[in-house]
Amino acid sequence: MGTDSTASVVRGEPGVVNGLVQVSFVVQRLLAEVGAPHDLSVIQVRLLGVLRDRQPTMAELAVLLQLGRPGVSGLVDRAEERGLVTRVGDDSDRRSTRVHLTDHGQQLASAVRDEAARRIDALTASLPAHDRQHLARITAHLQRASTRQRHSQ
Amino acid sequence: MGTDSTASVVRGEPGVVNGLVQVSFVVQRLLAEVGAPHDLSVIQVRLLGVLRDRQPTMAELAVLLQLGRPGVSGLVDRAEERGLVTRVGDDSDRRSTRVHLTDHGQQLASAVRDEAARRIDALTASLPAHDRQHLARITAHLQRASTRQRHSQ
DNA sequence: TATTGTTATACTCTATAACTATA
DNA sequence: TATAGTTATAGAGTATAACAATA
């Protein structure tokens, strides 16, 4: 098929492409399943994860979550209605609003993070320790490559 | 922090957990960026990918895409309105409808797939060939582990 | 003027329940 | 009765444009 002749010019290791795509769907589904019992979508799980060690402004959240600002407003609205986060005015710039986890939000964020870690560890449990270490190095490399591409385009 | 004491009991290699989660977001964003110029969401990209070598019924699509049947109806509706797919009645069971790519859909599916492959190859280009092969094997292993867990729970 | 955040609007995605047609 | 698919409904997520308040 015409596709393969094109692809063969471009591709290094075909298994890597399909592998990374399929694994990304596996991990996303896992995150959805971890969030679901708590009525959290993947993006809400991600919000809680980001807020565990930061109190960003709405604009910073938009960058961190790769979301438009209206999207962040709605996301934080719904989390605030559930008592997971609070909006705190920034004194140094009165246009800005910082988002904090509440105590309840902290607890939920930790529970979800621990459960996700358990599930992913279960996925990698049958890998030899050597492969897990290798995978940790490779994923770190891919993240750096992604950041580099984003900054250079 | 209390979280770490819990985690240390459970975890093998912490870098793997964060690495897989972050890389899944990188790949999903990449798929969104590849689809966007063609007005395709990630789930629509996935639909085209699934249909490249299959003509499944709506029910089979629901399983393949991990979506409810009403979700599949809407998804196929929108793809059909754009002329990417067609619904074909199944003669052997007249309740069933099979979904086919149109010629235009085939072309778009191939273009999107090639572009995604290029982008992912760019991400892995700076890995030694040895690491890419290793990654291909590990991702295949993770997919099998995921399928196994799904079937045994 | 530029930036922060919100509101308004519209569309896609996703889930549940109710319905029709076929088996 | 059970299954395949659709429609109805509702809510969440995401994008663009217009707006208010602050810088």
From the CA of B66 to the C1' of D6: give the distance in Å. Answer: 19
Whether B97 contacts B60, CB under 8 Å: no
Separation CA B114–CA A3 (nearest Å) = 8
Average pLDDT, chain B: 91
Tens digits of residue pLDDT in B52-106: 999 999 999 999 999 999 999 999 999 999 999 999 999 999 999 999 999 999 9
Q: Quick one: which residue's CA is nearest to D13's C1'?
A: A71
Q: Which of A6, A28, A121 sits opposite B10 (nearest CB)?
A: A121
Residues 6+ apart with CB under 8 A from B87: B76, B80, B97, B98, B99
- The pair of three-digit structure tokens given for residue A92, joined into one six-digit string: 């140094």
How many C-beta atoms surround the C-beta of residue A9 within 10 A?
A: 8
Pairs of residues, one from chain A and one from chain B, whose beta carbons lie less than 8 Å apart: 196
Tokens 């750096």 belong to residue: A144
Kind of pairing, strands B97-101 and A85-89?
unpaired
From the CA of A69 to the C1' of D23: give the distance in Å. Answer: 19
* Mean pLDDT within B118-136: 94
Q: Nearest chain B residue to A112 by CA: give it.
A: B3
* Mean pLDDT within A72-95: 98
**B110: number of CA atoms within 13 Å, CB side?**
13
Given an 8 Å threshold on Cβ–Cβ distance, is B11 in contact with A117? yes
Tokens 């471009």 belong to residue: A10
B140 interaction partners in chain A (CB closer than 8 Å) = 15, 19
Q: Which of B31, B121, B138 sits opposite A131 (nearest CB)?
A: B138
Helix (H) or strand (E) holding A99: strand A97-101
> Residue A68 phi/psi, 5° resolution?
-70, 160
Tens digits of residue pLDDT in A41-73: 999 999 999 999 999 999 999 999 999 999 999
Integer angstrom CA distances of residue B96 from A61, A132, B89, B91, B100: 45, 44, 6, 8, 13
Residues with CB under 7 A from strand D: A 41, 43-44, 65, 67-71, 74-75, 78, 93-95; B 57-60, 69-70, 72-74, 76-77, 87, 90, 93, 95-98
CA angle B102, B104, B106 (to 5 degrees): 70
Kind of pairing, strands A97-101 and A85-89?
antiparallel
The answer to pTM > 0.85 is yes
Kind of pairing, strands B85-89 and A97-101?
unpaired
B11 interaction partners in chain A (CB closer than 8 Å) = 117, 121
- pLDDT more than 70, % of chain A: 91
**B74: number of CA atoms within 13 Å, CB side?**
6
**Which of the residue ranges A80-84, A135-139, B7-11 would you say has the lowest mean pLDDT?**
B7-11
Q: What is the pLDDT of residue B5?
A: 36
Q: Which of residues 14-53 of A touch B (CB under 8 A)?
A: 14-31, 46
A133 interaction partners in chain B (CB closer than 8 Å) = 13, 15
Looking across all nucleic acid strands, the nucleotide with the smallest C1' to CA distance from residue B77 is D6
Q: Which of B27, B29, B125 sits opposite A20 (nearest CB)?
A: B27
pLDDT band with cut points at 50, 70 and 90 for residue B11? low
**Which of the residue ranges A58-62, A69-73, B1-5, B35-39 would you say has the lowest mean pLDDT?**
B1-5
Q: Which of residues 66-125 of B touch A (CB under 8 A)?
A: 66, 110, 113-114, 116-118, 120-125
Integer angstrom CA distances of residue A93 from A57, A98, A101: 10, 11, 21
pLDDT band with cut points at 50, 70 and 90 for residue A9? very low
Burial code (b: 16+ CB inside 10 Å, e: under 16) for B27-40 equals: bbebbeebbeeeeb
Tens digits of residue pLDDT in A18-33: 999 999 999 999 999 9
